[in-house]
Structure 1
Amino acid sequence: MTQARPFRSVLYIPASNARAMDKARTLAADAIIFDLEDAVAPAEKPGARDLLRAALAQDYGGRARIVRINGLDTEWWRDDAAMLAAAADAVLVPKVSRPQDLDEVAALTGDAPLWAMMETALGMLNAAAIAAHPRLAGMVMGTNDLAKELGSRNRPDRLAMQAGLGLCLLAARAHGRVIVDGVFNAFKDQDGLRAECEQGRDMGFDGKTLIHPAQLDIANAAFAPSDAEVDLARRQIDAYDAAIAEGKAVAVVDGRIVENLHVETARRTLDKAAAIAAMNG
């Protein structure tokens, strides 16, 4: 999977809930995380694995299908990885604190891309090494577990999260990985969700993990280029191309200088808009 594929909304679905997994095939989510870890009680884990294997045989359209296996300190993760990796688009590894954690999973998952849950203090400090792992395709911020480990308080500005979010974002961008923001727990608080999505978007995240279908529309809107952004991107590209044709190195659009770096950003904006349109179409 590449960043050309949209990951605006990444919805967690319990792998023990067959009805929810079936409904997910119709939801406006860019990606689904089928969760075998926190959302499934210990006694239900083997049965959930069987339910998920059947679900992954169904058509989920353009939605990325990501399986979150159980933690490497449990008895279940090896069977999760060995039995489901080939059927999924990626395997999400919980609590990745060092690149060697990914090595353990990679030994069982063939060519399946790996994603890393970034949710420990050690993981934050090792983010660059984790992002550099050759099998890694994406990173997911686990802000709830990180807050628990830090002993931090919940604030609307997520002050305590900023160091970890920034380290992981830098690492992901340095190595060309997808990275999605953590969940917003108050799923009925639409204004709070919108504000946190906008914060994550403005920081540079590709999208947001979600815990309820009611959060999808807000995340999809926040992480998609707006009509104004698409229009500006097109005008920047046109103006720059015209300037180059005239032997100039820069253009001016809306009173602002447009250089090659701005054009690269504009092209990414149009590529993202096109990918979203293709998925919606």
Structure 2
Amino acid sequence: MTPIYRPRRSVLYVPASNARAMAKASSLDVDCVIYDLEDAVAPESKEDAREALRDHFTASKTAGFERIIRINHLSSQWGSEDLLAARACKPDAILLPKVEMPQDVTAVAEVLDETDASENIRLWAMIETPRGILNSDEIAELGLRSAARLECFVVGTNDIARETRTRLEPGRAGFLPWLMQILLCARAGKLDVIDGVFNDYSNMDGFIAECAQAAALGFDGKTLIHPTQIPGANAAFATSPDEIAAAEKIVAAFALPENGGSGAIGLDGRMVERMHLDMARRTLAKSGRKLPQ
């Protein structure tokens, strides 16, 4: 059976301390919203932010997008309360900051299990430190274990820049080896992976260029800091009409009786293998198209 894929092209951060912004997000054409209890909330506002988040989820039982809550690290003074509040809200996922080792994920998964949290609450992990990058392979292996709940990596480019002292310049040349390492490890663990934010939301040309780069590298989407960035991200990471048409042709060709048992076939003058069929099916699933019978 072909898996059902959820688009994660546009992933918008919204401060949990801003009730108005959380309410406004409900009307946006975004794939995911991250309600942030961490960096976007000042220390003196953490408790109020948790209460605002509880109120928002109580008032809005469902949404037309995935809902993720970013908590503070469990080792912090706010982490445990954040996790309990997030669990009570029953989001689609909880985003863990500064993940540096598998235990950062499994510790949270164990708490969720011990408190009988729904298995539908998944975990996302931020890779945003040098140690996190170096250990991203071990962390991503948790994606192959259903009990770990891990489903997605999110790259924290701003934190990586700060900790490595590498400049975030146009083209991100210094970051490319790290971005590709994170992506490679994510794919080995069957995880989705979301690119970091583009800070200058007034520079739409620069943002579009970085989205195009991330899409070409293989990322599933981009984290966003402003609603004006949503259309650009949705367009950059969308499945193009040409890709859909090519995928439909491959699936239809393998569905022919004479090709049913073939490992490879000729199509339009080139060899197409079963792995291309798998890729085509994924493309159609992500685009929402029905697979040919």
SS in 1 for 2:154: strand
**Residue 131 of structure 2 corresponds to which residue in structure 1?**
122
**Residue 37 of structure 2 corresponds to which residue in structure 1?**
36
The reply on whether 1:259 has 2:268 as its aligned counterpart is no
**1:108-130 deviation per Cα after TM superposition (whole angstroms, max 9, x unaligned):** 33343211110000000100111
- By how many angstroms is 1:248 displaced? 5.4
**Residue 161 of structure 2 corresponds to which residue in structure 1?**
147
**1:141-173 deviation per Cα after TM superposition (whole angstroms, max 9, x unaligned):** 001100111110122221221222112111111
- How far apart, in 1, do the equivalents of 2:238 and 2:85 lie? 35
The reply on whether 1:88 has 2:91 as its aligned counterpart is yes
SS in 2 for 1:56: helix
Scaled by the length of structure 1, the TM-score of the pair is 0.91
**Residue 222 of structure 2 corresponds to which residue in structure 1?**
208
**Residue 287 of structure 2 corresponds to which residue in structure 1?**
273
Aligned pairs for 1:10-49 within 5 A: 10-49=11-50
- By how many angstroms is 1:253 displaced? 3.8
Which range moves more in the overlay, 19-28 or 105-114?
105-114
- How far apart, in 1, do the equivalents of 2:259 and 2:168 lie? 53
Give percent identity, aligned residues only: 47
Query: Which of residues 102, 107, 110 is equivalent to 2:105?
Result: 102
SS in 1 for 2:111: coil
Opposite residue 272 of structure 1, the aligned amino acid is K
The reply on whether 1:168 has 2:169 as its aligned counterpart is no
Are 2:10 and 2:224, in contact at CA under 8 Å, matched by a contact in 1? yes
**Residue 78 of structure 1 corresponds to which residue in structure 2?**
80
Quick one: structure 1 residues 266 and 148, their matched pair in 2 at CA, closer, same or farther if it must change by over 3 Å? same
- By how many angstroms is 1:243 displaced? 7.9
- How far apart, in 1, do the equivalents of 2:80 and 2:4 lie? 28
- By how many angstroms is 1:135 displaced? 2.5
Which range moves more in the overlay, 231-240 or 43-52?
231-240
SS in 2 for 1:180: strand
Opposite residue 114 of structure 1, the aligned amino acid is L
Quick one: structure 1 residues 23 and 59, their matched pair in 2 at CA, closer, same or farther if it must change by over 3 Å? farther
**Residue 253 of structure 2 corresponds to which residue in structure 1?**
239
SS in 2 for 1:71: coil
Q: How many residues align?
A: 275
Quick one: structure 1 residues 60 and 193, their matched pair in 2 at CA, closer, same or farther if it must change by over 3 Å? farther
- By how many angstroms is 1:59 displaced? 4.0
Are 1:65 and 1:90, in contact at CA under 8 Å, matched by a contact in 2? yes
Opposite residue 29 of structure 1, the aligned amino acid is V
SS in 2 for 1:109: helix
SS in 2 for 1:176: coil
- How far apart, in 2, do the equivalents of 1:152 and 1:163 lie? 12
Are 2:253 and 2:259, in contact at CA under 8 Å, matched by a contact in 1? no
CA RMSD of aligned residues (A): 2.0
**Residue 67 of structure 1 corresponds to which residue in structure 2?**
69
Are 1:243 and 1:249, in contact at CA under 8 Å, matched by a contact in 2? no
Scaled by the length of structure 2, the TM-score of the pair is 0.88
- By how many angstroms is 1:254 displaced? 4.2
- How far apart, in 2, do the equivalents of 1:245 and 1:61 lie? 43
**Residue 222 of structure 1 corresponds to which residue in structure 2?**
236
- How far apart, in 2, do the equivalents of 1:187 and 1:226 lie? 25
Quick one: structure 1 residues 208 and 244, their matched pair in 2 at CA, closer, same or farther if it must change by over 3 Å? farther
Quick one: structure 1 residues 155 and 239, their matched pair in 2 at CA, closer, same or farther if it must change by over 3 Å? same
- By how many angstroms is 1:247 displaced? 7.0
**1:216-253 deviation per Cα after TM superposition (whole angstroms, max 9, x unaligned):** 00111111101111111111222333384387543344
